[in-house]
Amino acid sequence: MEDNPGDAYLIREAFKECGHQCDLTFADSFAQALELLPQSSFELIVSDMGAHTQCSTLIRAVRSNPHLQHVPVIILSGSQDVRSAYQAGANAFLLKTMDMDSFFDKIRALMHFWIDVAELP
């Protein structure tokens, strides 16, 4: 979920450059993200933090779906509310940065870890 069109564009570009084939699905609101969950099969969910309750609701929806319950949920946010993301059940938290090289490096590292390194069920 990414409600900022500028950030969504940068995220698309970063994923294009990450070295992995990615089919991205964007939701511009938490309501739309919740609607997409039952209809889709995801290997990784990356979401903006939004409000803590929205983040918690999204993660609960993922964990309660038998087809998605083991999908990693990564919070990518400009908010430094790291603790809330992990308390909500996020698998990882990445802080958005204005430095494009650093941001692209974070996305490459994210994909490398979750696709190449981590063993998922």
- Read off the pLDDT band of 3 (50, 70, 90): low
Q: Which fold, 5-117?
A: Rossmann fold (3.40.50)
Phi, psi of 49 (to 5 degrees): -65, -45
Average pLDDT value for residue range 63-86 = 88
Q: Which residues contact 107 (CB under 8 A, 6 or more apart)?
A: 11, 14, 15, 17, 18
* Total-model pTM: 0.85
Task: Give the whole-angstrom CA distance, residue 109 versus residue 94.
Answer: 11
**For position 93, what pLDDT does the model report?**
93
